[in-house]
Amino acid sequence: MRCVIHGSGGVGGYFGACLARAGHEVFFIARGEHLQAIQKDGLSVQSHQGDFHIENPEAGQTCDPNFNPDLVIVAVKSWQLRDIKDEIKKYCTPKTRVLPLQNGVDASDILAGSLAKETVLGGLTKIFSKIEAPGVINHFTGATYIGFGEYFREPPFPKAQDNISDHCRNLENLLNSTPGIDAEAFLDIKKELWRKILLFAPTSGIGTITRTPNGVFREIPETREMLINLIHEIIIIGQAKNVNIAEEDFNWAISTIDGMAPESNSSLFRDIQSNRPSELHSIHGYLVKEAEQLSVHVPTLRFIYHSLIPSESLARQA
């Protein structure tokens, strides 16, 4: 398979390196010192599952228009999508499939503003990883999971997993045959995207505003109440948008958060703490805007979002 990693940071760099190690032809799009280090010394991965190194990977600020990828994994931050969607279109073919792995729920809609809808999948990832140093990816804890599905196709009824498209099933098999990647194809990927936002928006919001890892705020009664309220508010927004989420998804979300590594935190937490632009507006801001349009009352979500806007503003000014 020929694959472009558009955004070769903690997430894209890890998955791209796994694909390259497995023998697939991978082109890494990166920038700055990170790109220079990859071009000079290759790409190194530090992982609790085992370290490895990719020698002489193909890499650049833009993709060779003659590369003709079968798959594009889009792993930039959510707020960068609108700036790169036209660039992605330039190097895709009609057979290329585009798989976004952002933390929000609207990445596929944004990309479909430039790309043919039938080429854009819905996707998500569960991984704790970061750029440790230029040319070095650190997968420091947890899973290495990719979930995906046909975003612009309504799930057929009955919702049996054997109704998953042949393309998604083939991609699932390919990714699962790649050491270091666990993949799952879904019939209703929109539901799964909203289930992930039930985890990411509350933990990233509360963790960032309290400046504590998951294991701290989830145990304190006052902040645990905020956590519970946030999950409920996001479920109500999703239901108002006709997403198939319900009370059972609340139980799953709180159980999953309780099972996260105590020291873990979010990319949004790390970005704001490091005075870097984050996905605050793309995730919490998006949810608040949708709630306003749908007349959904979300006081906890609004408090978290509004309280973090000043820090986000300072980061963007810097």
pLDDT tens digits for range 67-82 = 999 999 999 999 999 9
pLDDT-derived band of residue 128, with 50, 70 and 90 as boundaries? confident
Read off the pLDDT of residues 19-58 as tens digits, 9 standing for 90 and up: 999 999 999 999 999 999 999 999 999 999 999 999 999 9
DSSP 281: I
Separation between Cα atoms, residue 93 and residue 259, nearest integer Å: 42
Distance of CA 139 to the CA centre of its chain: 15
pLDDT of residue 107: 97
Separation between Cα atoms, residue 260 and residue 214, nearest integer Å: 7
Mean per-residue pLDDT for 210-229? Answer: 97
Contact 140, 114 (CB under 8 A): no
pLDDT-derived band of residue 161, with 50, 70 and 90 as boundaries? low
Contact 194, 245 (CB under 8 A): yes
Mean per-residue pLDDT for 215-226? Answer: 98
Separation between Cα atoms, residue 205 and residue 193, nearest integer Å: 17
Mean per-residue pLDDT for 259-270? Answer: 91
| β 52-54/43-47 pair status | antiparallel
Does pLDDT of 253 surpass 60? yes
pLDDT of residue 8: 98
DSSP helix/strand/coil, 38: helix
Domains of the chain by start residue, with CATH = 2-187 (3.40.50.720), 191-313 (1.10.1040.10)
Contact 119, 98 (CB under 8 A): yes
pLDDT of residue 142: 83
- CA nearest 55: which of 35, 33, 40? 40
Does pLDDT of 157 surpass 60? no
pLDDT-derived band of residue 171, with 50, 70 and 90 as boundaries? very high
Integer distance in angstroms from the first to the last C-alpha of the chain? 40
pLDDT-derived band of residue 153, with 50, 70 and 90 as boundaries? confident
pTM of the model: 0.90
Does pLDDT of 156 surpass 70? no
Contact 7, 15 (CB under 8 A): no
Token pair listed for 191 = 């539901």
pLDDT of residue 159: 59
Mean per-residue pLDDT for 166-189? Answer: 97
Mean per-residue pLDDT for 151-175? Answer: 83
Does pLDDT of 146 surpass 90? yes
Separation between Cα atoms, residue 47 and residue 284, nearest integer Å: 30
CA torsion 265-277-105-140 (nearest 10°) is: -30
Does pLDDT of 155 surpass 90? no
Does pLDDT of 160 surpass 90? no
Report the mean per-residue pLDDT for the chain: 95
Token pair listed for 30 = 């990166």
- CA nearest 145: which of 165, 123, 114? 123
